[in-house]
């Protein structure tokens, strides 16, 4: 089936076209036509009236949404989160775990595998294992009761149930460098997190394959003029991608500005790190077995430790636009393209011929108006935001 999206304000990495046309064939982008080009016949035609048209977002760090947590380990939780992510423009995501007991991890992986077979919302691209291989002194909002040393046998065991794409861990732990090498050999991205690593430990892990840093700057050795730390290493290393939570809580605007100035949009990835209180009212919630209160959108433990976020991806983009001072065709790399390149998701993250037709339509406030997932318009009630011909 051919679908034509007319009069798009099309924005993709290093590309911006006004009044452009997107031609979709089934799940794929067949062609992009500039303003004034002859239009082909299509089975369905949608008039977008100049609305912003971008690649579907990819959230590689999300724990939950809508009152559900992936570690609930139920099909209902995955369905709630998967459908909810579509509402914020996310077409692909990594289900991110917490530091929980092994039985709960196994249940979560089984539920993830079931969702992959029968998805009801955004596409599950794999698992992001955050913990349990975390330095006890840097646990943050991770449950200290279930921390353990790096264990590649456990990775292999879980990976057979549902593919692991990324592991966030403390590289300074005993065996951390060997663990990095083993993950990289398996095509799994090692990502530094919850870490007291000094600069030399960071460099050793980077050389062993650690090319991501999880929620950059948060629970991580900071820059010091005599002790450079992991944050300093991340800022200097050209081959390392950094995740940032642009919610106004985890990073101040000046730090976000500095990160973009030094890393450029080519090495920054917007994430939500959202917990189950995302898209929910303030109240009391659970995160990895720890009680969390959400007040004015800020999630925290009883001791005041920040416990994930309630951020949504379109909100992260809107805030980054206001801080980074970059053209949108550069900044849009941070919402899907960098994630797809670094984690080797083929044919995702860009609006280009031959790429998967995962598309989100945004209004001037970057609020999602409609989503195409694999060439199919999702949530037919959103059709009122566009005009079908």
Residues taking part in catalysis: 273
The residues pairing with 362 across neighbouring beta strands, listed in sequence order, are 52, 368
Half-sphere exposure of 115 (CA within 13 A, CB side): 32
Half-sphere exposure of 99 (CA within 13 A, CB side): 26
The residues pairing with 5 across neighbouring beta strands, listed in sequence order, are 22, 46
Distance CA 34, CA 245 (A): 35
For the record, the structure tokens of 68 come out as 């559900």
Buried b (16+ CB within 10 A) or exposed e, 269-302: bbbbbbbbbbbbeeeebbbbebebebeebbbbee
- Tell me the three-class secondary structure of 172-200, residue by residue: CCCCHHHHHHHHHHCCCEEEECCECCCHH
Half-sphere exposure of 285 (CA within 13 A, CB side): 32
Omega within 30 of 0 (cis) for the link into 132: yes
Among candidates 66, 58, 63, which has minimal Cα distance to 93?
58
Sort strands 28-33 and 44-47 into parallel, antiparallel or unpaired.
unpaired
Torsional sign, CA 318, 347, 59, 212:
negative
Sort strands 15-25 and 123-130 into parallel, antiparallel or unpaired.
unpaired
The backbone region for 5, taken as left when phi is positive above 0, alpha when psi lies in -120 to 50, beta otherwise, is: beta
Q: What end-to-end distance do the CA atoms of the chain give, in Å?
A: 15
Instruction: Give the position of tokens 């801080």.
Output: 323
In this structure, the number of other CB atoms found within 10 A of the CB of residue 370 comes to: 24
């Amino acid at each position: 089936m051919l679908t034509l999206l007319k009069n798009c304000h099309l924005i993709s990495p290093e590309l911006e076209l006004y009044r452009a046309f997107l031609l979709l064939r089934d799940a794929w982008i067949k062609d992009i036509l500039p303003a004034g080009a002859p239009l082909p016949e299509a089975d369905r035609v949608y008039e977008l009236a100049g609305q912003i048209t971008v690649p579907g977002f990819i959230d590689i760090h999300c724990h939950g949404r809508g009152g559900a947590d992936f570690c609930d380990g139920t099909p209902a939780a995955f369905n709630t989160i998967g459908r909810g992510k579509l509402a914020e423009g996310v077409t692909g995501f990594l289900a991110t775990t917490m530091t929980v007991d092994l039985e709960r991890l196994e249940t979560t992986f089984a539920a993830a595998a079931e969702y992959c077979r029968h998805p009801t919302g955004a596409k599950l691209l794999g698992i992001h294992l955050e913990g349990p291989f975390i330095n006890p002194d840097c646990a943050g909002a991770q449950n200290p009761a279930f921390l353990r040393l790096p264990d590649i046998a456990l990775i292999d065991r879980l990976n057979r149930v549902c593919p692991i794409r990324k592991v966030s861990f403390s590289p300074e732990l005993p065996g951390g460098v060997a663990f990095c090498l083993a993950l990289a050999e398996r095509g799994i991205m090692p990502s530094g997190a919850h870490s007291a690593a000094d600069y030399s430990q960071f460099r050793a892990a980077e050389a062993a394959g650690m090319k991501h840093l999880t929620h950059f700057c948060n629970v991580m050795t900071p820059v010091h003029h005599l002790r450079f730390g992991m944050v300093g290493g991340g800022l200097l290393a050209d081959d390392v991608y950094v995740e940032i939570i642009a919610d106004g809580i985890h990073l101040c605007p000046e730090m976000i500005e500095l990160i973009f100035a030094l890393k450029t949009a080519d090495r920054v990835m917007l994430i939500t790190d959202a917990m189950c209180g995302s898209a929910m009212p303030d109240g009391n919630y659970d995160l990895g077995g720890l009680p969390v209160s959400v007040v004015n959108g800020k999630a925290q433990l009883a001791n005041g430790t920040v416990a994930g976020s309630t951020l949504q991806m379109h909100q992260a983009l809107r805030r980054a636009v206001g801080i980074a001072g970059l053209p949108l065709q550069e900044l849009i790399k941070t919402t899907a393209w960098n994630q797809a390149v670094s984690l080797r998701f083929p044919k995702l993250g860009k609006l280009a011929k031959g790429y998967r037709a995962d598309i989100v339509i945004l209004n001037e406030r970057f609020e999602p108006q409609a989503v195409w997932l694999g060439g199919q318009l999702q949530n037919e009630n959103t059709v009122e935001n566009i005009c079908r011909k």
